[in-house]
Structure 1
């Protein structure tokens, strides 16, 4: 197909003037976490045909994902949201998920890797096992996305007979890695988290050359302080270490106003909107980018979350 024809095709959804994702089949990991839920909601609002909202296991946070699915089905009845148990650190599970998506829909368009593990806050409390776990959780899912999703994204399909359907006549796709500003700066939470998020950002940067000629883009969202609703009074250190982002309440309101340009912590929905942008045609000429969602903190001074 002539390139000039493909970019003007009404079916080449990334170039839709309205940014809609009609026909798109999406995978979002970490869908039980606040940021993952916000991303699923945003893709549904953009009109995606199907979203695989991935959970870590069949029983993990089932109430949260059930509530999300029910809410989105009511708000966006033409978008099918599928709760899918998926081990993000497993190569085999990644291949099974992609096979299931292709067998059911014949296409894959968006892959959002939204995973995270803070790990211990200090080097003295960090063991080699902790470091391995940080890399497996923060960087390995991004690697699997880069390695296996593009081949599926290059498959074209005629228009299906489901809601919000559209044909896919040109190979394209968008891989979005949700990480932290710790991938750029030091001093955010703990050393294992910083090292592992640097690796995740490395996947994005190396991915540009890897994806040449595929029509697939890869970008990173690096978030700063995001209020994910963690109540420090009821959370122990171990529970905090399992989170995707450091609890915003680690810093006082006075400190936040001093170090964050917008003088507040971010909201999960504000990360979700950036993911929607990177999934849509509004970002059609963006790849290999790191989009910081940190309220300007990293410009004013490298974000440091004290322990």
Structure 2
């Protein structure tokens, strides 16, 4: 019996090496031959500044010898950055898709369309946001539910339905340029939220509560996804300059935004409370999403990566005397 142990152990190691996504010749980002791989990605919220940055980042990944070839994204209303992306990254096929991320039926329809067209799904990014009112006195049940529906429900739908498509494998090349087989089940879900998911005071009650719920989807998702080869992570952003100005819009318009306006903090305040002394840029969020979508983060799941310039570890209430 003892003579069988080394053989069994070797067999187990070999099996682990076979099924580990990082060891697949089609997914390892460190391949020496520099070949590109045919990932299919879905990006939601692509008309928001951060969503646009995510599209650009994912579309540009092949130029850095990672793996992406087909990029679908949901948007509302009907406008998208497809033409500029297509001209900038001709090797990436960008397909606009009229998708409502808070609809369960629309989510299932999008996944069906992706599988019917491409036969695989590899990355799903959920980037939706509704600030709502900054005041509790003007926040009722309807406004509260709307915040949860926009900020947390799309992440829940991604966790519930995307993995079943991500674990599908295919031995045939897809019907698009540079497609590759998918020989192991794997996938990456990235939920983009706010630092309001970890503490209060960023905006109003509904925004904070619903952002916490979005992060809860990620943390609960690790156990849900055990054994699937699918990872789920969160990017929580701090003060990001998305071009919204307090003076240029009324409270109602501001409440429909994805992140609080940077104008809430003047330059002097940013220098005092932000470690890097400035607001962030949408592309700085997009780069972290690109990392979590790629094979470079193959052992990262359930993580919350904070993109806030170090503000959350500062203490803005401390005043030097």
SS at match of 2:235: strand
Call closer, same or farther: CA 1:172–1:302 in 2, change over 3 Å.
farther
Q: How far has the Cα of 1:24 moved from its partner?
A: 0.5
How large is the Cα RMSD of the aligned pairs? 1.6
Q: How far has the Cα of 1:20 moved from its partner?
A: 8.3
TM-score by length of structure 2 reads 0.88
Name the structure 1 match of 2:18: 5
Call closer, same or farther: CA 1:88–1:22 in 2, change over 3 Å.
same
SS at match of 1:83: strand
- C-alpha distance in 1, partners of 2:129/2:139? 16
- C-alpha distance in 2, partners of 1:21/1:266? 30
* Residue 52 of structure 1, aligned match among 50, 72, 75: 72
1:93-151 CA-to-partner distances (Å, cap 9, x unmatched) read 10000000000000000000000000000110101000000000000000000000000
After TM superposition, the runs of 4+ consecutive aligned structure 1 residues lying more than 3 A away are 18-21
Q: Tell me the number of residue pairs that the alignment of Structure 1 and Structure 2 aligns.
A: 294
1:81 aligns with 2:94: yes
Select the structure with the greater relative contact order (CA < 8 A; seq sep ≥ 6). 1
* Residue 273 of structure 2, aligned match among 255, 259, 263: 259
| Partners of 1:79 and 1:164 within 8 A in 2 | no
Call closer, same or farther: CA 1:161–1:86 in 2, change over 3 Å.
closer
Q: How far has the Cα of 1:165 moved from its partner?
A: 1.4
Name the structure 2 match of 1:38: 53
1:148 aligns with 2:148: no
Unaligned runs of 5+ in 1: none
- C-alpha distance in 2, partners of 1:22/1:130? 43
Unaligned runs of 5+ in 2: 1-13, 63-67
SS at match of 1:298: helix
* Residue 276 of structure 1, aligned match among 290, 293, 317: 290
SS at match of 2:263: helix
- C-alpha distance in 2, partners of 1:28/1:211? 20
SS at match of 1:176: strand
Which of the two has higher C-alpha Rg?
Answer: 2
1:207-265 CA-to-partner distances (Å, cap 9, x unmatched) read 00000000000000000000001133221111100000001111111101100000000
SS at match of 2:206: helix
SS at match of 1:234: coil
Name the structure 2 match of 1:181: 195
Call closer, same or farther: CA 1:111–1:105 in 2, change over 3 Å.
same
TM-score by length of structure 1 reads 0.92
SS at match of 2:182: coil
- C-alpha distance in 1, partners of 2:311/2:36? 32
SS at match of 1:207: helix
SS at match of 1:193: helix
- C-alpha distance in 2, partners of 1:168/1:202? 30
